[in-house]
Amino acid sequence: MREGQSAVTRRLDYAPPAFWIDSVDLTFDLDPAKTRVLNRMTLRRNPDVAPQPLRLHGDELNLSRVLLAGQGCSFRMDGETLVLENLPEGTTPFELEIFTTCYPEKNSKLMGLFMSDGDFFTQCEAEGFRRITYFLDRPDVMTSYTVTLRADKARYPVLLSNGNLVDEGDLPDGRHFAKWHDPHKKPSYLFALVAGRLVAREQRITTRSGSDHLLQVYVRPGDLDKTEHAMNSLIHSVLWDEARFGLPLDLERFMVVATSDFNAGAMENKGLNIFNTKYVLAKPSTATDG
């Protein structure tokens, strides 16, 4: 197989995962040269699968620590895969903590966590999350995410992830944090993180069900005058989903972020869509709806 060519995964070879992840709590200390990621997971065995080791996907990660229920444990590496044996039997949940580092400014693949014009972005479809932390990076493993982002406040004043903003504040040494929680289970390829110097067009709406929501379109400062069409499209989309399908917006806010270096047209992450600027930014003086 040629270098760089992806391995073939055939639908007929599908086997269910040997473990489920009930929840994941991620803490990021964002730094372009060396970002630290603390991953605390609650897992349990899948009772419908014969007992086997836990195999967590990884790609170009620097592994620093693995703890099982707060204690050191044995593990081995199988290529880029982290393998753990001697885990609790039965379906009793257990806690696993993994501490890794990655290197966003050197990530030229634009998959996982990478830098674009000095800001942090992620692209996890289809298998980019394994470049952020060791995980069961497959679409049939769904879990709820709590994400804490910490970074220099002057350089990265905006810290975004999926879900609802549950806490934020200042830290020593000119740093700050934002904590996000997405109560809806999702696969790892729908995870998103954005941090940088961004500005937002904001609009509050009230849905048919009577709930209030904040809609935001984030861009770099010079692009703010090109976001009206995107906001109007977002408003109509949210209202149409509820009117047509009875599906009201299930988060407190919905965010769209535009960046010029995104490696696809768009990625519809849960509650935090990331677009390439050429597909979402426009103003009447330079573009038509058509």
Q: CB–CB of 168/177 below 8 Å?
A: yes
For residue 10, what are the contacts with CB-CB under 8 A and spacing of at least 6? none
Q: Residue 120: beta bridge partners?
A: 115, 195
β-pairing, 19-29 vs 35-45, is antiparallel
**Residue-wise pLDDT tens digits, 10-46:** 999 999 999 999 999 999 999 999 999 999 999 999 9
78: which 2 tokens?
A: 């199988």
Q: Is the pLDDT of residue 57 over 50?
A: yes
105: which 2 tokens?
A: 């400014």
User: For the chain, what is the mean pLDDT?
Assistant: 95
pLDDT above 90: percentage of residues in the chain: 90
- The alpha carbon dihedral of 4, 16, 264, 154 has a sign of negative
Q: Say how far apart CA 80 and CA 42 lie, in whole Å.
A: 22
Question: Of 228, 244, 238, 236, which is closest to residue 282 (Cα–Cα)?
Answer: 228
Question: Of 253, 250, 255, 249, which is closest to residue 274 (Cα–Cα)?
Answer: 255
**Residue-wise pLDDT tens digits, 243-266:** 999 999 999 999 999 988 777 789
> In the chain, what are the domains?
18-196 (2.60.40.1730), 199-279 (3.30.2010.30)
For residue 150, what are the contacts with CB-CB under 8 A and spacing of at least 6? 27, 28, 29, 30, 171, 175, 176, 177
Q: Looking at residue 1, what is its pLDDT?
A: 36
More confident position, 136 or 259: 136
**What is the side-by-side strand order in the sheet with 54-56?**
54-56, 81-84, 76-78
Q: Say how far apart CA 159 and CA 193 lie, in whole Å.
A: 8
Across 31-109, the runs of DSSP E, i.e. the strands, are: 35-45, 54-56, 62-68, 71-72, 76-78, 81-84, 94-102
81: which 2 tokens?
A: 């895969």
Residue type, 72: G
β-pairing, 112-116 vs 71-72, is unpaired
Q: Looking at residue 206, what is its pLDDT?
A: 95
174 Rama class: left (phi>0) / alpha (psi -120 to 50) / beta? left
Q: How confident is the model at residue 139 (pLDDT cuts 50, 70, 90)?
A: very high
Q: What is the mean pLDDT of residues 48-75?
A: 97
Residue pointed to by tokens 């997405």: 182
Q: CB–CB of 155/126 below 8 Å?
A: no
